[in-house]
Structure 1
């Protein structure tokens, strides 16, 4: 049986150009997700990922006999009550939803079974994921539709001028405005990749202004 690999099945969504914004129609997708707030370099974000990945791999192995899939690159939605928090670097105010894409037929009952299995395996172990965070992992159905995206090469800190150009020039020129939170897809593992070699998809849902 062929293993589902989202990067191959939806290649156009994972291979945008790095020199210009590409307009794409993003279909509805299903993710395992967990939400939080604060600096992505802080312990809260890392702890959330420590709960998200065991559930994702638990779902993968549970489905393996009938429909295996490759765990997707980490993605995240970013927003703030005051959008200026991103320009000023007030990371404590940043809100995020970390996400891992899963097959579209995944359902809440299956995730609940996996959650119970993960909690049982970690019971009594030291250094495992916080049970409260595992309980906070849920299925999210996201339908972004019309989007602009491009590949960013380099450190996360260098995204600011690229996004400013999108917001101040590209979107107004196309007569578009925001239709959802900023979306990033991390094609590189920052723990193992030099900052200058990071590859990140920047995606912005849009609608007519």
Structure 2
């Protein structure tokens, strides 16, 4: 079977062109981990490092002679994160210590709760016990969303959000919340900030 690559097969979900877009997303499955605090902190990096061993345990299982029902070859999905601010800190200057997040890696269709549990066992020696106990397998519905590809520093995202807002308004939509999702097409731990590619995604509704 041909290897499934999300960059080619899921272009509506992961648009890699600069132009904004609006789409309705299907129910999707993720490995998730939640927290609060500055994304530049060691704790945030530690949580990211807890997701990848589980995701790759599923991807690499056939090389260990483990065959999950319905499994197929695929490219591991990018890191994603929902971002919001803690209650009482949503007005005024941004204090990153009060950022709330749910980071996640999407899973292919054959992954279910049982596959996830097996992957957790396979990754047990690579993930800190306290984080392993917090990782979840969740089905998430984002419904109708607006998206734009942002290139550059995270601190420059307001410019892309403004462009997305203008596009939404001109097409008769508005944001449903100030919360947003970021999809890290580039690995921000390795790629210089001026070259980082991040899909910005917001929930929308018809005006």
| TM-score, normalisation: structure 2 | 0.85
Q: C-alpha root-mean-square deviation of aligned residues, in Å?
A: 2.4
Q: Which structure: greater helix fraction?
A: 1
Query: Where does residue 145 of structure 1 map in the other structure?
Result: 143
Name the CA distance, whole Å, in 2 between partners of 1:176 and 1:166: 10
Contact 1:144/1:180 (8 A) holds in 2: no
Which of 97, 105, 113 is matched with 2:102 structurally? 97
Q: Which residue of 2 aligns with 1:3?
A: 3
Pairs aligned (count): 200
Aligned position for 1:32: 31
* Alpha-carbon contact 1:178-1:207 (below 8 Å) kept: yes
Structure 1: stretches of 5+ with no match in the other structure: 123-127
Question: CA 1:192–1:106 in structure 2 vs 1: closer, same or farther (change >3 Å)?
Answer: same
Tell me the equivalent position of 2:198: 200
State the 1:13 CA deviation: 2.6
Q: Establish whether residue 190 from structure 1 lines up as the match of residue 188 from structure 2.
A: yes
Gaps of 5+ in 2: none
Aligned 1:13-162 pairs, distance under 5 A: 13-18=13-18, 20-62=19-61, 65=67, 66-82=71-87, 85=90, 88-119=93-124, 122=125, 128-162=126-160
Counterpart CA distance in 2 for 1:87 and 1:103 is 40
Change (3 A) 1:63 1:180: farther
> Residues 144-199 of structure 1, C-alpha deviation per residue, up to 9 Å, x if partnerless?
121111111111100023324545x5545524231684111111112222211111
